[in-house]
Structure 1
Amino acid sequence: MVFKRMLGAFGVGGPSVDTVLTNPNTRPGLPLQGQINLAGGSHDVHIEHLTVSLVTRIEVEGGDAEYDAMVEFLRVGVGGPLHLAAGQQVSVPFQVLMPWETPVTDLNGQRLHGMTMGLRTEVAVSGAIDKGDLDPVYVYPLPVQERIMEAFGRLGFQFKGADLERGQLYGVPQTLPFYQEIEFFGPPQYHGIAEAELTFVATPHGVEVILEFDKRSGMFGGGSHDAISRYTVGHAEADTVDWVARVDGWVRQAVDRHQAALAAFGGNPYGAPAGYGPPGYPHAGGYPPAYGHGGHYEEHHDRGSGMGGVVAGAVGGAALGFAGGMLIDEVFDGDDESAEADGDDE
Structure 2
Amino acid sequence: MVFKRLLGSIGIGGPTVDTVLAPGAVLPGGHLAGEVRLKGGKAAFDVEHITLELVARVEAETSDGEHEGVVIFDRFNVGGGFPLGEGEERSVPFAVALPWETPVTELYGQALGIVLGVRTELGVAGARDKGDLDPLTVGPLPVQEAVLEALGQLGFGFKSADLEYGRIGGTGQQLPFYQEIELTPTPQYAHVMRQIEVTFLANPGGMEVVLEADKPRGFFSSGHDALTRFTVSHAGVEGRDWTVEVDGWMRQLAAGRGARTVPAPHGPGDAYGSHAHKAEHGQVRHGSGPGPGMGTVVAAGAAGLAVGVVGGMVAAEVVDEVGDFFESDDEESETDEEA
Shared fold (TM-score greater than 0.5)? yes
Relative distance call for 1:193 and 1:159 in structure 2 (3 A) is same
Q: Percent identity?
A: 46
Q: What's 1:320 paired with?
A: 295
Q: 1:319–1:8: structure 2 CA closer, same or farther, 3 Å change rule?
A: same
User: Residues 196 and 204 from structure 1, CA distance in 2 versus in 1: closer, same or farther, beyond 3 angstroms?
Assistant: same
Deviation of 1:339 after TM superposition, in Å, equals 2.1
Q: Given the alignment of the two structures, is residue 343 of structure 1 paired with residue 331 of structure 2, yes or no? A: yes
Give the Å deviation of 1:66: 1.0
Q: Does 1:301 align with 2:301?
A: no
Which residue of structure 2 lines up, in the alignment, with residue 212 of structure 1? 212
Query: Aligned partners of 2:83, 2:258: CA distance in 1, in Å?
Result: 69
Q: Which residue of 2 is the match for residue 61 of structure 1?
A: 61
Give the 5 Å matches for 1:219-298: 222-257=221-256, 290-291=277-278, 298=283
Instruction: Give the superposition deviation at 1:332.
Output: 4.1
When normalised by structure 1's length, the TM-score is 0.80
Q: In 2, are the aligned partners of 1:23 and 1:33 still within 8 Å (CA)?
A: no
Asked whether the 8 Å contact 1:144–1:237 carries over to 2, the reply is: no
Instruction: Return the alpha-carbon distance in structure 1 between the equivalents of residues 211 and 67 of structure 2.
Output: 24
- Pick closer, same or farther for the CA change 1:292–1:20 going to 2, 3 Å: closer
Mapping 1:90-105, distance limit 5 Å:
90-105=90-105
Q: 1:3 to 1:56 in 2, by over 3 A?
A: closer
For residue 5 of structure 1, report the CA deviation from its aligned partner.
1.9
Query: How many pairs align?
Result: 304
Provide Cα deviations, 1:262-303, integer angstroms capped at 9, x if missing partner.
9xxxxxx88xxxxxxxxxxxxxxxxx964178xx8742112x
**Residue matched to 1:273:** none
Distance 2:204 2:301 in 1: 30
Q: CA RMSD in A?
A: 2.8
- Paired with 2:58 and 2:24, the residues of 1 have a C-alpha distance of 21
- Provide the secondary structure at the position in 1 that maps to 2:152: helix
Q: Which runs of 5+ in 2 are unaligned?
A: 264-274, 288-292, 311-321, 335-339
Distance 2:330 2:224 in 1: 46
Report the CA distance between 1:329 and its aligned residue.
5.1
Question: Contact (CA 8 Å) 1:54, 1:120: kept in 2 or not?
Answer: yes
Which residue of structure 2 aligns with residue 279 of structure 1? none
- 8 Å Cα contact 2:150/2:294 also seen in 1: no
Query: Post-superposition shift, 1:167?
Result: 1.5
Identify if the C-alpha distance between structure 1 residues 224 and 259 changes in structure 2 by more than 3 Å, giving closer, same or farther: farther
Where relative contact order (Cα < 8 A, 6+ residues apart) is larger, the structure is 2
Unaligned 5+ residue runs, structure 1? 263-268, 271-287, 303-317
Per-residue deviation at 1:110?
1.2
Question: 1:4 corresponds to which residue?
Answer: 4
Q: Which digits, 9 at most, give the CA deviation of each residue in 1:185-244, with x for residues without a partner?
A: 11211132110000000011100000001113439x622311111000111132111111
The equivalent residue for 1:23 is 23
Alignment partners' CA distance in 2, 1:30 and 1:206: 14
Distance 1:129 1:92 in 2: 18
Residue 258 (structure 1) shift:
6.1
- Equivalent residue number for residue 47 of structure 1: 47
Is residue 192–residue 217 contact of structure 1 (8 Å, CA) maintained in 2?
A: no
How far 1:107 moved relative to its partner? Answer: 0.7
Q: Which residue of 1 aligns with 2:89?
A: 89
Q: Is the 8 A contact 1:5 1:132 kept in 2?
A: yes
